Amino acid sequence: MPASATSTPHCHRRCCSRAPRRTKPSGCRSLSAREFEVFRLLAQGHSSAQCAQALGLSPKTISNHETLIKEKLGVLTSAALVHLALRHELITPSSA
């Protein structure tokens, strides 16, 4: 997507004025409920340790979830997870 398509005032207002989705988009349906929860937290910029504390899990479990999430969604990096979450309106630019 060209940079100009994402930086227009209309696009910014549209993206920022919506509340994040609470339901899974079709591409995320392969994730378990827990994986989806971890995905959202990671996409919002939380560290593995922060996710672990928030969910009552070990950081190693969060790391394992992150690896499975990336495999299931076909992404390689944390930045790609954030991009995917933004594209599917799971998070807003202000929460990323």
Q: Is residue 57 in some structural domain? A: yes
pLDDT in tens, 17-68: 344 445 555 567 789 999 999 999 999 999 999 999 999 999 999 999 999 9
pLDDT in tens, 80-93: 999 999 998 888 88
CATH at 66: 1.10.10.10
CA distance 55 to 7: 34
Domain that holds residue 28: 3-87
* Environment class of 10 (CB within 10 Å of its CB; exposed 0-12, middle 13-18, buried 19+): exposed
pTM, full prediction: 0.69
Q: On the CB side of 27, how many CA atoms lie within 13 Å of its CA?
A: 14
Q: How many domains does the structure of the chain reveal?
A: 1
Q: Is residue 92 in some structural domain? A: no
What percent of the chain is helix, strand and coil (3-state, nearest 5)?
A: 60, 0, 40
pLDDT of residue 26: 52
Q: Is residue 38 in some structural domain? A: yes
